Structure 1
Amino acid sequence: MHGYEQDLRKFVLLLESEAIQNGYLMFINTSINSYIMMGAKHDQPKYLMDLLENSTSFEGVLKFESDLVSPIIGKEPLNCWSLSVATLTSIMIALPKVQNEKRNKLLQSVIEGFKYVRLIEKSLDVHKELVSSTNAADFLWVVAELRREWLDMDLQKIARVSKSSKETLQILANKSEDILKEFTSKMNGNMVESDHNNLPENVIIANSMDKISNTLLLVYEESYHSASDTQVFEKLSVIIADIFAACLINLPHVILMKCYSSSIEEREKCIKEATRLLGESQDITKDLWKREIPNLSPGQSIYIDEWRALLKHT
């Protein structure tokens, strides 16, 4: 314990001529451990952890969007983890013939995971390049979670009337295409020059749905055509689990940033938050770091497109 106390000294701010007593170091150590244990005991994201058990690789990060699907708008907004997760979850809500228990469990896991994803994006997107996409993701997710809707479409109604997963995907693909074509027609061919950071939220949301639903239609024809709707649901669950797994690799960096980058006045609060976050997420991150992690810097790892670019060449 004494060695650990020695390590703690360099993290304590002292005024000139002040000395720190070992007893105070023990108090700090005990306080930190109590917050870690509190997070580990009370805030474990159990549904998310169950979902992550379906993930054994990061393949889903590559699978959910295909380069074979051409964008309708000229200059696409940057993709982000939260928008991809929210779009895929919206699709899964709309899949037919899936037991409510399975669907509700998936939603609970995404609810637990989404807060970590947004924390990661807010903390690590230092250049604010993802703001437009993450704002769209926030809007999309609130509507999907609370009303089970994608924009103005009732996802539960689609699930009731669709005869197959393919039909659900086609309905969502058609709607997103209509939104994007209406937008591009209003732009009078000036889409290439427009700033992708200033696109309307519904266009960003529709672009994500267009790319993902059409990708899944291609996959459906290739390998899902003989699968039941429940099996399609389970395959998409693995893709979401892979996306969460890749994004959550960033959590330790977020925890460190909370400890180091806050002002002196806010540091106590931030360290409490960081230690509690460490406690509730330590089992997840411990398992994830057993995997072979792509060689990305923290500045790259925040971007899902950086992951996709690297995975394409591995």
Structure 2
Amino acid sequence: MCVCYCWMPVFSLWISNANRNIKIYILYFKNGMWVGERTVEGFSKSVNPLIQKGAKGQPNYLIKLIREKSTVGFHGVAVFDQTDDYNIPSVPYPDIQSSNCWRLAVVTLTTIAVSLPEIEKEEVDCLLECVREGLLYVTLVEKNLNFMYDSQQAAETLWREISTNKWLRKELQNPAFQKSTAGQIVKWFRDNDATHYLEGGIWNRDMHRLICGKSMYRITETILCTYNTNIDDATLSQKELFDSLSSMIADIIAACLTNLPQIIIMKCHYMSAIKERRTRVKDAAQLLGETTEIIRLLQDHRIPRMNPSDMPFLNKWRAYFRNPSSSDEGHASLLLDVSEPPRAVDYDPPRS
């Protein structure tokens, strides 16, 4: 059995309206048979409490980040790494993949943001909590739709380091930063990364550290090229850099989370045993409750008309922004299209 929740316009069905709007639900078997209305109503009563439970645990910090910092069109996804566009030479270890991992991009940008000493501790702590909540869902997307073991393990390692105020075993609360400009701090990350590469060959270094280092190199070079003279003459303030990094972080997380509807549906696919079916449907219902507000927000962000199979991949998003098709005018919806099934059947819904 597969369960698809189709909202109009997107996930607008609230629990209190579930029975009145029952036809917004579509339930069907793998063989394409339509589940009858009586079954849908019974299933609704069974699942609604789980959706409500999820809604009580919605990620409020993440919602605030997306609402306040994310841009229409996910601009940050296009600009956070432009090493290819700027033709930056000598990007080290070209065979090491570091640019297709959502988590690694988010954590690398966060590393720079939290190192800026002029930013109030409250703002830094808030950003860290936003990222912590966001990474829970980004991880869910990556593990189900875009599994890249080395890069994702590198991101996990780097995130654990941030919790101890370190980056690749170096102190993030560097005393030298107290007298540094925003540009000088960015250059510190770039230059320390270059030193890291020159210390030894790939076989003498931990692979995860190399991946983290390459990600930092690409992002810091992009920042330096983007701001150029503002970096050199110190007119870029730490607050301006922090806000820019926060916006990119929000956009990358938001773009990744456009895949949440796929995850919700996948949780109801590929089930054989009844016990497994009930467990996965309950998980899907709770996830739906947690993320309904996020999905609503994303619908207003002009989701690009990409091939749905490309959307779990960060490099596909970046490629799209570099060369958007002229036929892709307008924006896509997170509505889940389900072809009309041929006949109705009744099925005993899973019990809570």
Give yes or no for TM over 0.5: yes
Counterpart in 2 of 1:29?
44
CA distance in 1, matches of 2:239, 2:25: 52
Deviation at 1:243, TM superposition (A): 0.8
Query: How far off its partner does 1:211 sit?
Result: 0.7
From 20, 44, 48, give the equivalent of 2:58.
44
Distance in structure 2 (CA, Å) of the matches to 1:231 and 1:78: 26
1:72 aligns with 2:81: no
The answer for the alignment partner of 2:9 in structure 1 is none
2:167 counterpart residue number: 150
Task: State the distance in 1 between where 2:249 and 2:37 align.
Answer: 49
CA distance in 2 between partners of 1:113 and 1:306 (Å)? 20
1:138 is aligned to: 156
2:225 aligned to 183, 205, 218, which one?
218
Residue 164 and residue 305 in structure 1: after superposition, are their counterparts in 2 closer, same or farther (change >3 A)?
Answer: same
Query: Which letter does structure 1 place at the counterpart of 2:316?
Result: E
Q: Structure 1 stretch 75-84 or stretch 99-108: which is displaced more?
A: 75-84
* Residue 159 (structure 1) shift: 7.5
Match of 1:61 in 2: 77
* Range 69-78 or range 242-251, more displaced: 69-78
1:171 matched to 2:191: no
**Aligned residues of 1:124 and 1:299 also touching (Cα < 8 A):** no
User: Aligned partners of 1:160 and 1:78: how far apart in 2?
Assistant: 27
Q: Give the structure with the larger helix fraction.
A: 1
Question: Are 2:109 and 1:88 equivalent residues in the alignment?
Answer: yes
Matching residue of 1:313? 323
Paired residues in the alignment total 293
CA drift at 1:310: 0.5
SS in 2 for 1:240: helix
1:1-314 matches, within 5 Å, as 1=19, 4=22, 10=28, 22=38, 26-40=41-55, 42-53=56-67, 54-57=69-72, 58-66=74-82, 67=84, 68=86, 69-70=88-89, 71-79=91-99, 80-125=101-146, 128=147, 130-144=148-162, 146-157=163-174, 160-184=177-201, 200-223=207-230, 225-264=234-273, 265-314=275-324
CA displacement 1:222-254 (0-9 Å, x = unmatched): 556423211211111111111111111111111
Distance in 2 separating the partners of 1:11 and 1:159: 62
Is there any run of 5+ residues in structure 2 with no aligned partner, and where?
1-18, 325-352
2:98/2:211 contact within 8 Å kept: no
How far residue 78 of structure 1 moved from its aligned partner, in angstroms, is 4.5
Contact kept, 8 Å, 1:95 with 1:158, in 2: the verdict is no
What letter matches 1:62 in structure 2? A
Q: Which moved more, 1:257-266 or 1:171-180?
A: 257-266
Cα 1:31–1:96 change in 2 (3 A) is same
TM-score calculated relative to the size of structure 1: 0.84
Alpha-carbon separation, structure 2, partners of 1:297 and 1:199? 36
Q: CA RMSD in A?
A: 2.8
Which residue does the alignment assign to 2:6?
none
SS in 1 for 2:174: helix
Q: Secondary structure at the match of 1:65?
A: coil
- Aligned partners of 1:5 and 1:26 also within 8 Å: no
Whole-Å Cα distance in 1 between the matches of residues 171 and 60 of structure 2? 28
CA drift of 1:170 comes to: 1.2
Tell me the CA shift for residue 184 of structure 1: 3.9
How far is the alpha carbon of 1:27 from its aligned partner? 4.2
